[in-house]
Structure 1
């Protein structure tokens, strides 16, 4: 297991430990690690890619929750 894979597993655990309303804050870190994996030529786990997309959606929704109507 590479260092990047270990970092992603650790981050995945951190994300799962957070509440749904907070976990999207770790999306930029996850996206960065996935980008590093791609750049290094390592396969990106599909589950981590889906999680990144989910967190990105949650981050976008969180921006709109604070908009005045």
Structure 2
């Protein structure tokens, strides 16, 4: 499933964002535009970081740590 979502149309590049929340929203925008996710999913991703810490689990034994990234 992940390989179906990570395509040239869905990968976003940005030199800077004002916050990690904005980075999540920017990264999710193509999926939202294609109606693959809904706005509440983006809010849930942001809430998960606030609740569980700065990493994303994207599959069994696969996590993306975000600690140490700089914003702004």
Same fold? TM cut 0.5: no
Hey, which of these two has a bigger chunk of strand by percent? 2
Identify the structure with bigger relative contact order (alpha carbons < 8 Å, sequence gap 6+). 1
Hey, which of these two has a bigger chunk of helix by percent? 1
Please tell me whether Structure 1 or Structure 2 has the larger radius of gyration of its CA atoms: 1
TM-score, length-scaled by structure 1: 0.33
